[in-house]
């Protein structure tokens, strides 16, 4: 469970960062 808990937020943070960059770039 510990591994999954650490892995999951990491993916969320990565996705959020990509979304933020896309928004700033005006791709979305």
Maximum pairwise Cα distance, the chain: 37
pTM of the entire structure?
0.42
Residue 13, pLDDT score: 75
- 1-28, pLDDT tens digit by residue? 556 555 566 677 788 888 888 788 876 5
CA distance 9 to 25: 24
CA distance 23 to 28: 6
Which contiguous run of DSSP H or E holds residue 26? none
Residue 5, pLDDT score: 57
Q: Residues 18, 8, 22, CA angle at the centre, nearest 5°?
A: 5
Residue 23, pLDDT score: 84
Residue 7 CA, chain-centre distance (Å), reads 11
């Amino acid at each position: 469970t510990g591994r999954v808990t650490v892995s999951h937020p990491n993916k969320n943070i990565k996705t959020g960062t990509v979304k933020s960059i896309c928004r700033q770039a005006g791709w979305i």
